[in-house]
Amino acid sequence: MSNKYDVIVIGSGPAGYVAAIRAAQLGMNVACIEKWKDKAGKGVNGGTCLNVGCIPSKALLDSSYKYHEAHSNFKNHGISTGKVEIDVPAMIARKDKIVKQMAGGVSGLFKANKVTSLFGTGKLLANRKVQYVNLEGKEEVLEADNVILASGSIPIAIPVAPIDNDVIVDSTGALEFTEVPNRVGVIGAGVIGLELGSVWTRLGSKVVLLEAMETFLAIMDQQIAKEANKIYKKQGLDIRLGCRVTGSKVEVTKKGKEVVVTYTDKEGKEATETFDKLIVCVGRRPFTDGLLAEDSGVKLDERGSIYVNDLCSTSAPGVWAVGDVVRGPMLAHKGSEEGVMVAERIAGQKTVMNYDIVPNVIYTHPEIAAVGRTEEQIKADGEPYNVGTFPFLAIGRAVAADESDGMVKMIAHAETDRILGCHIVGPSAPDLVQQVAIAMEFGSSAEDIGMTVFGHPTYSEAVKEAALAVNGHAIHMPNKKRRK
């Protein structure tokens, strides 16, 4: 093994592996270090996203939704079945198979692009040297012209609910339940909490989400967030806002282990709830533990993220950082695009990334997706704007598919009609919002989308109608008066 490379990447999640592959495509000699191990102790690529994040959670979301459909919704379509049962170990095994397949895919791409895959830990030293310790504990110092830090993030732990990986778990542990708990508590009603809460609600658990903030999904457009909250409550999710957990206690009863959670509600009154499982989902933090030597020259900001400029360059020459470990939303696709940008910048290209058009998605059912600014942000910026909304209830394809909950919201500048944001809760929301992201990248107006021919019947017609509604031209619903 060589100890000198053009580029060394630390971390093979979506930001790291994409950076490594793109750098190799551009003719560089690249090594990528990954510390993740599978259940057998073998090194695997893919980082958190492929192993215990995006991919496995979506596998369980899809499995649980298929069960819910068969158990509760097939009869609406005239389909009769026998008794519908869930085999949780089989569902988890399917999830594990998908994870193995996807992680193996990254390894295959590394091989095809001649990226050297190294399993173990990497620590950045001074002058772009990296201390590499393999899985057997053997240490070696590697050198590179450029180093890309892509070490990702980990769940935030809270003292009032210490993780025991039995009754109290984090988002990783919530992917490994062997049976459906009767009562599930979730601390945090953000993206991860909602997705995991949805999985176990569909499978039959009574789920209570305790959220400290008094505003539901504060990061999202509030009209969409309120619409989503109504849908989730109808599905059985018990979302309690303004609740601060003050303690938890695991007890052994005749029924087995339980966890008693004490919290204060939004009125300041103390209350308790007893659960079979408690999932702690209060957010994630950048993972820099053991990553940086004192003389590495890399600075952290006040949030513990690696400080970078708009091009993801750190305070140390030739050292870059991408993905969850830097500022901005912790989104796999954001990190991937940063990885491409950095690889191309290293190669001498003038690539930049448009951070104003990064889609955000919550994979509940229906899904929530957004791109651009919320109405609240635009109003705070003082820009004149018009809004168009359109419900899926008025879309033939959605009604035929029994997927008519939700709406599309389009916001455009009142004077130029340029699209400023699009926010969707409803069927295929991530794919629909991507259409708008492409339009925004090319500076499109709401009128441009309204004049585009959309297939019929499709969910995407809701996007066209919302765009038409911006200027009071919607066809399939009465138009509201335009803002003055």
Backbone angles phi, psi at 61, to 5 degrees: -60, -45
Whether residue 321 contacts residue 314, with contact meaning beta carbons closer than 8 Å, is answered with yes
**473 in active site:** no
CB atoms under 10 Å from CB of 423, counted, come to 31
Q: At what angle do helices 191-202 and 222-235 cross, to 10 degrees?
A: 20
Asked if residue 366 has a cis previous peptide bond (ω within 30° of 0), the answer is yes
The overall longest dimension of the chain from CA atoms, in Å, is: 70
Backbone angles phi, psi at 100, to 5 degrees: -60, -40
**Long-range contacts of the stretch 107-112 (C-beta < 8 A, 24+):** 107/44, 107/45, 109/17, 109/21, 110/17, 110/20, 110/21, 110/32, 110/45
Report the distance separating Cα 484 and Cα 473, nearest Å. Answer: 16
* Distances 82 to 70, 74, 398, 400, 449 between C-alpha atoms, Å: 10, 11, 27, 24, 46
Whether residue 34 contacts residue 45, with contact meaning beta carbons closer than 8 Å, is answered with yes
Out of 365, 413, 456, 473, the active site residue is 456
Whether residue 395 contacts residue 459, with contact meaning beta carbons closer than 8 Å, is answered with yes
The token pair that represents 224 in the structure block: 């969409």
Report the distance separating Cα 439 and Cα 418, nearest Å. Answer: 10
**Neighbouring residues of 440: CB distance < 8 A, sequence distance ≥ 6:** 356, 357, 371, 372, 419, 422
Active centre residues (catalytic): 456
